[in-house]
A = this chain, B = another copy of it.
Amino acid sequence: MSLPETELAVFMERLRESGIKLTHQRMEIFKEVASRMDHPDAASVYERVRERVPTISLDTVYRTLWMLKEAGLITTLGPAHDRLRFDANTAPHHHFVCTICGKTEDFYCDAFNSLNVPQEVNAIGVVERAQVELRGLCNACAKEETK
Query: Within the oligomer, what is the number of copies of this chain?
Result: 2
Interface of chain A: mostly helix, strand, loop or mixed: mixed
Q: A142 contacts which chain B residues (CB < 8 A)?
A: 125-126
Q: Is A49 an interface residue (CB 8 A)?
A: no
The segment out of A15-23, A50-58, A105-113 that lies at the interface is: A105-113
Contact, CB under 8 Å: B136 / A127: yes
- Interface residues of A, count at CB 8 A: 65
Tell me which residues from 28 to 60 in chain A have a Cβ below 8 Å from any Cβ of chain B: 33-34, 36-37, 39-42, 45
A interface list, Cβ under 8 A from B: 33-34, 36-37, 39-42, 45, 65, 68-69, 73-79, 81-90, 95-96, 98-99, 104-109, 111-112, 115-118, 120-121, 124-139, 141-142
